Amino acid sequence: MPPVAQEGNCLIYRGSNFLKQRLVLSCLSGKPVKITQIRSEDATAPGLREYEISLIRLLDKLTNGTKIELNPAGTSVMFSPGLLHGGHVEHDCCVQRGIGYYLDALIALGPFCKMPLKCQLRGVTNSNDSPSVDHVKGAALSLLKRYLLVDEGLELRVVRRGVAPLGGGEIVFTCPVRKSLRAIQLQEPGMVKRIRGTVYACKVSPAMANRTVESAKGCMLKFLPDVYIYTDQNRGKMSGNSPGFGICLLAETTDGVCFAADCISNTREESDTPSIPEDLGREAAMRLLDEIYRGGCCDSAYQWLAALYMALGQKHVSKFLTGALSTYTVHFLQHLRDFFSVTFKLENPEIDDDDVDDVRGAQKVLMTCVGIGYTNVSKRVL
């Protein structure tokens, strides 16, 4: 949705959708953003949710000189970004959303901070409504490595797990800073060569994890032999505050592309019927196969991240092959146009009959753009 109006440098939007996109792009572009009518029609709970306020607080910790103005009802926010500072940040995330919700913003902003980022986040490490920390580690960090070239100092470590609804997990994310990102051309996803996975069990019987592994492995071994799934069983303080179990599967291709899929057990609030480990393993395997079918050079959950790095890259042509664009990515491309005046050329590449690799899977999209040559003005000159 395009901005409703523009007052000088400030962009004005309506509604609560894509709040995170707007705030992240505001921090990168330095343009203030005003968002009005946030759930103003909601009679029971109008205004910003607790997890959205928590995200704004995290961005405030990450930056220096940010001004935030909220109206008393919370239905309007004025966000004037400061300089991206980085450094050591600790934050207790709201348990209404998983840590993955907050990590998305950190991965987008991390390379452009003044100081290398070291961030400790506490909350829900694995939930249904956000990518799990395993998903982020496998899919998002592998994409970021391509743009950083040297990935020294890039790490995501799970200190302890915590599943929904009460969380209790903790992660440490470190990210190096760069003066600029390189322009890359990724058009060959390659063939899937191996599948790795992690099954975690917190405050439940270890048999749950083993049954999930057997079920997921049974599905994946029909396609290729190199399947290995680790089990991560936690007890006591290391298992967070809620019982639950889940699985994250990762498919790696010959060209270093990673596809990921998550599945987690129901909480008592979500459903009265408990999750069955066999169903969970099968569901995760099917989601991964769907992701592989969609194809491209990145996971569908992180198409927007590839688009962001392309737009901010050096002033050269960047090309990136993805599967069918998600709704989230389409809106992100529109927001990139609003904040940076960058437009993408989107086309369906023609399938060559001789090339067997291209025939497999769904229709692909080739994204092409010329980077704006974004430079990290905050980075110290050593």
**61-107 tens-digit pLDDT:** 999 999 999 999 899 999 999 999 999 999 999 999 999 999 999 99
Contact 149, 226 (CB under 8 A): no
State what percent of residues in the chain have pLDDT above 90: 78
pLDDT at res. 113: 93
Closest CA to 174 of 268, 258, 261, 111: 111
Domain 5-187 has CATH 3.40.50.300: no
> Partners of 271 in the beta sheet?
none
Q: Is the pTM of this model over 0.75?
A: yes
CA distance 14 to 169: 34
Residue 359 pLDDT exceeds 90: no
pLDDT at res. 349: 87
CA distance 329 to 53: 23
Tell me the mean pLDDT in the region 196-224.
94
In angstroms, how far is CA 95 from the centroid of its own chain?
17
Q: Is the dihedral of CA 183, 132, 90, 231 positive or negative?
A: negative
43-47, 230-234, 300-304: range with lowest mean pLDDT: 43-47
Tell me the mean pLDDT in the region 168-183.
93
Residue 306 pLDDT exceeds 80: yes
For 329, residues 6+ apart whose C-beta sits below 8 A from its C-beta are: 303, 304, 307, 322
CA distance 81 to 24: 9
> Partners of 77 in the beta sheet?
35, 70
- Average pLDDT of the chain? 91
Residue 357 pLDDT exceeds 90: no
Q: How confident is the model at residue 377 (pLDDT cuts 50, 70, 90)?
A: confident
Helices 99-109 and 50-62: crossing angle in degrees, nearest 10, is 30
Tokens of 163: 């599943």
CA distance 170 to 189: 33
In CATH terms, the fold of domain 192-294 is Dihydrodipicolinate Reductase; domain 2 (3.30.360)
Choose between 271 and 304: higher pLDDT: 304
**Domain definitions of the chain by residue range:** 5-187, 192-294
CA distances for 266 relative to 166, 280, 376, angstroms:
13, 10, 43
44-58, 129-143, 214-228, 270-284: range with lowest mean pLDDT: 270-284
Q: How confident is the model at residue 368 (pLDDT cuts 50, 70, 90)?
A: very high
Tell me the mean pLDDT in the region 29-40.
93
Residue identified by tokens 């109006």 is: 5
Closest CA to 368 of 346, 349, 348, 350: 346
pLDDT at res. 381: 52
> Partners of 234 in the beta sheet?
202
pLDDT at res. 376: 84
pLDDT at res. 371: 93
37-46, 113-122, 138-147, 246-255: range with lowest mean pLDDT: 37-46
